Structure 1
């Protein structure tokens, strides 16, 4: 059985964290696999503790370093077989976690991304470049995450796109879902 760990960096949007955790809680109810939730915080405060208790999440204090460093530290903190990185600034579509789980387990994809293509992007450029949008959620099998060295520790922005490109370069099977439909790469 697969074991998920959902990782959310609170530094990217505390104001929307409660709504994000609510969506994650509902998403967990659509899967049969065990799921842990870890919220990265700069400092444990009572408001974080209340949110964590309400949504059965763990808090991990990690303020120093880039976003890539924070995510890597959290990934090394858990033993889950699948790591899920979610941006708290967005609301995930209902059923995305269950869809991701099926794609990875039944269809043997190594990573599944939910990416919104910006309206400023040219359609032909979007086809040429694998990921030119914002990654809202990324599920990746731990073995592949470790194989490519995790997130780039020098980066604060674009870490998901960078990881996806490195996964594809290493021949991982990556499925990229957009609101317009699914697209495979790799």
Structure 2
């Protein structure tokens, strides 16, 4: 079982898919050799070029919703950690610096990658209005914890990510942030 793999969905990443792939395969990324699986509803003319250039695997599943596509990709991979793109926004390759030792530490179940915490006024406004927080560009989650949660809801398409993050926050997930601005600073484990 390998340490980690990346899962990207063509509809979630949109036109930024090549940028995501380039940043993942960058020599500045310590996770550059991790497997990449790209889920899609239909074959894309650029998919063969991207597949060969970035050594990625495409899973074309025209009848599956987003939640089912993520679950299908996760089931196909045999890694201890799953790194899933949740937004169009791609991250710089140096964002992943220091990730490998953190994955080996076993102190947390999931990690939010690239989510900069909002300023105090924004946090207070969110709490007052009980609005949902923005979700991170990527999430790193332990496969065993993902299986305990039941994975993504296979019935959901557009709301699959929000539902999954809500369930992660509702249970006692041991979170660890990995922020691009301060990825070498001492991050605190959130519970």
* TM-score of the alignment, normalized to the shorter chain, above 0.5: yes
Q: Paired residue for 1:185?
A: 190
Q: CA deviation at 1:162?
A: 3.4
Match of 1:50 in 2: 49
Other-structure match for 1:5: 5
CA drift of 1:2 comes to: 4.9
Cα distance change of structure 1 residues 164 and 41 upon mapping to structure 2, 3 Å threshold: closer
Q: Distance in 2 between matches of 1:166 and 1:92?
A: 25
Deviation of residue 66 (structure 1)?
A: 2.3
SS at match of 1:134: coil
Alignment check: 8 A CA contact 2:37 2:57 kept: yes
Contact 1:175 1:183 in 2 (8 A): yes
Indicate conservation of the 8 Å contact 1:43/1:63, yes or no: yes
Q: Distance in 1 between matches of 2:164 and 2:35?
A: 22
Contact 2:108 2:189 in 1 (8 A): no
Residue of structure 2 equivalent to 1:123 = 123
Offset, 1:127: 6.4
Partner of 1:99: 98
Counterparts of 2:73 and 2:117 in 1: how far apart (Å)? 27
Greater share of residues in strand: 1
The answer (yes or no) to whether the contact 1:85–1:138 under 8 Å persists in 2 is yes
- Is the 2:9–2:40 contact (alpha carbons within 8 Å) kept by the matching residues of 1? yes
Residue 111 (structure 1) aligns with: 110
Larger RCO (alpha carbons 8 Å, 6+ apart): 2
**Once superposed, what is the RMSD of the aligned Cα atoms?**
3.2
Cα distance, 1:42 vs. partner? 1.9
In the TM superposition, 1:32-43 aligns within 5 A as 35-43=34-42
Aligned length, in residue pairs = 184
- Specify every segment of 5 or more residues in structure 2 that has no aligned partner in the other structure, as ranges: none
* Pair 167,62 (structure 1): closer, same or farther in 2 beyond 3 Å: same
The farther-off stretch of 141-150 and 2-11 is: 2-11
Q: TM-score, normalization: structure 1?
A: 0.80
